[in-house]
Amino acid sequence: MMGDFLFSDEPDTPVDNTDLGTWKVLIVDDEPEVHAVTKLALSDFEFQNKRLEFISAYSGAEAKTLIDEHKDAAIVLLDVVMETDDAGLQVVKYIRETAKNNHIRIILRTGQPGQAPERQVIVNFDINDYKSKTELTAQKLFTVIMSSLRSYRDIISIEQSRVGLEKIITASRNIFSAHSIEHFIEGVMQQLTSLLGISDQAMYATTLVAQNPASQNNKMIICSGTGEFEKSEGKDLEEVLHADQLSACQEALNNQSIIYKDNYLFAYCSSEYNHSSMLFITGIPNTLTDTQRNLVEIFAQNVQLAFENVQLQSEIEATQQELVYRLSEAVEQRSTETGNHVKRVAHICHALALGYGLSKQQADLIRLAAPLHDVGKVGIPDSVLNKPARLDAPEWEVMKTHTDKGYGILKGSAHEIVSAGATIAKEHHEKWDGSGYPEGLAGNKINIFGRIVALADVYDALRHKRCYKDSWTLERVVEEINAQKGTHFEPKLVDVFNANLDELEIIIKRYPD
């Protein structure tokens, strides 16, 4: 039986081509000769420029350990009878049911076919092939390994496609959010690399949006990377690529085309906006089919459109935020308060919201809506708004109406920011103990946004000069806010204020009057 494996023209030692990568083959058999002969028969085996890497186990128990250590093994050549009559079958169950490894191809080899009948084993166990040792000659071993590797390759490719598609679907739910473009591009690149049958090595780079499109010196920055480029995000392309790669990149850029070089390619990503962007994929096969080249071309066109759609959405969001700031500043400039007051309050609210435990989405929302808190002052007479002395009782009643006026301006909007702004405008002068206005709400009946803006507004107002007062020292402000704990301000929020005071002071200094 063993003699059928041997050929006189086979090399005495395997050729060392580890730099090409390997396919891991786990040999599980209690006979050392089987290991030796199997390795010898497959010593010159090569598939897709990758040799075989053999891992030996001499019992079912040892095989289970190696399965856990080598989750990327492609094939297991598994003996049935070892320390027990069904040791191999127990390994099959362990692989599929315990290790949950559905990728590895299991080839069952037995010297005693009657011990584990083929029909019964095929039906009851998730194996991929069943061979008697007496029939498994060198040629048949070569054939079964080749077919199994092709199956394994296709399964891995399908799995990569599934993972890539899942990322794209997840990203598409929030494709216009600030960070989804990186996730989206990563998923699309994983899809493409799996379709090309290559390792996951790709990156996408574009010129900085803030730079002048007409400039010839725009640096390309890596937006997203996979594999070895995953840690290169944010870097200049020139820092990551070699001289010959940079030359090929420039060629693709100049010709606005796809350039194939050795085992990598550069694809120029074009769109109607003509931002300079580049896709770089390395580890591609020596020969690409027309279908694969077409996939690259389609990707290069479509991913840029997706990227620019997100850029446009980001621009819209930035414009909305700037309009809110400028309108709020216009209101503030009617009084002696400066325009930067609304920016400081917005960022102070964001820090307090995160410290309080609100989600990032909620913290971002209050940052965008907080500048609208005093929009109702547009309806307050200058004689009241800018009086350099304490207001008398009738004037104070007029001043207090700015909360209802602000709510009246903003209420009824279907847009989240404006709706939140309406709530803030109405409730930011309510107090925790119920002594505030306009409705005398108390405790948790005051919206959390109103409670946060109340503290942020007072903190910033006390720290800066007004027509009716000088600026207070930090120590005096902290003493005052803590004195109002449980009366004006929610106790938990005061604790958050104290814990984040250094960050809040940085915001104060970042936006001075």
What is the set of active-site residues? 377
Q: Which distant-in-sequence residues (6+ apart) come within 8 Å of 33 by Cβ?
A: 2
DSSP collapsed to 3 states, 376-436:
HHHHCCHHHHCCCCCCCHHHHHHHHCHHHHHHHHHCCCCCHHHHHHHHHHHHCCCCCCCCC
441, two tokens = 């709400």
d(CA 116, CA 91) in angstroms, rounded, equals 14
How far CA 174 is from CA of 181, 184, 225, 310, 461, in Å, comes to: 9, 10, 20, 10, 37
Burial 252-285 (b: 16+ CB within 10 A, else e): bbeeeeebbbeebbbbbbbbeeebbbbbbbbbbe
State whether residue 113 is helix, strand or coil.
helix
For residue 432, count CB atoms less than 10 angstroms from its CB and return exposed for 0-12, middle for 13-18, buried for 19 or more.
buried
- DSSP one-letter code for 13: S
Report yes or no: 111 and 134 within 8 Å, Cβ to Cβ: yes
d(CA 89, CA 109) in angstroms, rounded, equals 11
Report yes or no: 293 and 278 within 8 Å, Cβ to Cβ: no
- DSSP one-letter code for 142: H
d(CA 159, CA 74) in angstroms, rounded, equals 14
d(CA 118, CA 423) in angstroms, rounded, equals 73
Report yes or no: 488 and 459 within 8 Å, Cβ to Cβ: no
Give the residue among 138, 135, 148, 29 at the shortest CA–CA distance from 80.
Answer: 29
Give the residue among 479, 438, 462 at the shortest CA–CA distance from 345.
Answer: 462
Give the residue among 446, 411, 406 at the shortest CA–CA distance from 426.
Answer: 406
d(CA 46, CA 23) in angstroms, rounded, equals 9
